[in-house]
Structure 1
């Protein structure tokens, strides 16, 4: 079996202008990266692009790349000014809404990426991003 040689995530965040993270991990330990302590702040209901996720495999090629995200709070009904559509994923581009419930502890988004190469090998990674008070 051939390993999936590279799952690359390049990350940009509104408070880390121009900073990117690219991780090449031939052993598939942790092919996913996001800025340490990823925080969307201030919570003013805007969508923020937090990641562009791509996958490549030098041996057999990538068969699929699946990117999903979840939130610890509901998509709507969290308070005044709440805007629906808190998670937008278009291809590997991930946008998250800087929005949280005014009465809660803060929102946590969880981003998952799974790449499968043509040989059937898979790499899965997870990262989180917070919306604080």
Structure 2
């Protein structure tokens, strides 16, 4: 990053394309999203009333929950070092599963989320907006 930002200022970049939140069995970014979705009135409405839900899509719910819980905080801190900040703007292909089918189900169970609860937990592609740090 230092080499890149020697040549260009961090805030001159428009966006960062990232893959899924989980990588090599590290689900630390997924857990906050899963917990937030289990407690989200919007996601509960979406599950109960699809396709007449108030929310447009699971993509928009995921972005809202990610920006609220900031599981990507460490990545944002890296950009902060260079005078910029990031915020999740959009995602493609949101993944949801029953808690019982997730490799981090024990962490969710400890937080009172049942095995039968379906939660959002990751996305296939994530797109971050890069802005000058305020």
TM-score normalised according to structure 2 size: 0.29
Give 1 or 2: higher strand fraction. 1
Give 1 or 2: higher helix fraction. 2
